[in-house]
Amino acid sequence: MTHPLSSPLTQLSEDEKLFYSTVRQFAEEEIAPQVRAMDDAQQLAPALVEKLFALGLMGIEIPEAFGGAGGSFFDAALAIEAISTVDPAVAVLVDVHNTLVVNALRRRGSEEQQRKWLPKLAADAVGAYALSEAGSGSDAFALQTRAEAAANGYRLNGRKLWISNAREAGLFIVFATVDPGAGYRGITAFVVEKGTPGFSVGHKEDKLGIRASSTCELIFDNCEVPAANVLGEVGKGYKIAIETLNEGRIGIGAQMLGLAEGAWHHAARYAQERKQFGKAIAEFQAVQFTLAQMATEIEAARLLVYNAARLKDAGQPYVKEAAMTKLFASQVAERTASQCVEIFGGNGFVRDYPAEKFYRDAKVGKIYEGTSNMQLMTIARQVLGK
Measured in whole angstroms, how far is the alpha carbon of residue 281 from the centre of its chain? Answer: 35
Residues 6+ apart with CB under 8 A from 351: 36, 357
Residues 165, 97 contacting (CB under 8 angstroms):
yes
Query: Would you tell me how many other CB atoms lie within 10 Å of the CB of residue 206?
Result: 8
Active-site hit among 61, 261, 356, 369 = 369
Distance CA 352, CA 269 (A): 16
Measured in whole angstroms, how far is the alpha carbon of residue 35 from the centre of its chain? Answer: 17
Our separate counts of H helices and E strands in the chain read 12, 10
Bin 234: left if φ > 0, else alpha if -120 < ψ < 50, else beta.
Answer: beta
Distance CA 8, CA 20 (A): 9
Residues 6+ apart with CB under 8 A from 279: none
Measured in whole angstroms, how far is the alpha carbon of residue 373 from the centre of its chain? Answer: 19
Four-CA torsion 212, 218, 224, 226, nearest 10 degrees? 50
Query: CA angle, 34 as apex, 245 and 370 as ends, to 5°?
Result: 15
For 69, half-sphere exposure in the C-beta direction (CA atoms, 13 angstrom radius) is 20
369 is a catalytic site residue: yes
Indicate the SS3 state at residue 316: coil
Query: Would you tell me how many other CB atoms lie within 10 Å of the CB of residue 3?
Result: 7
Residues 238, 185 contacting (CB under 8 angstroms):
yes
Question: Which are the catalytic amino acids?
Answer: 369
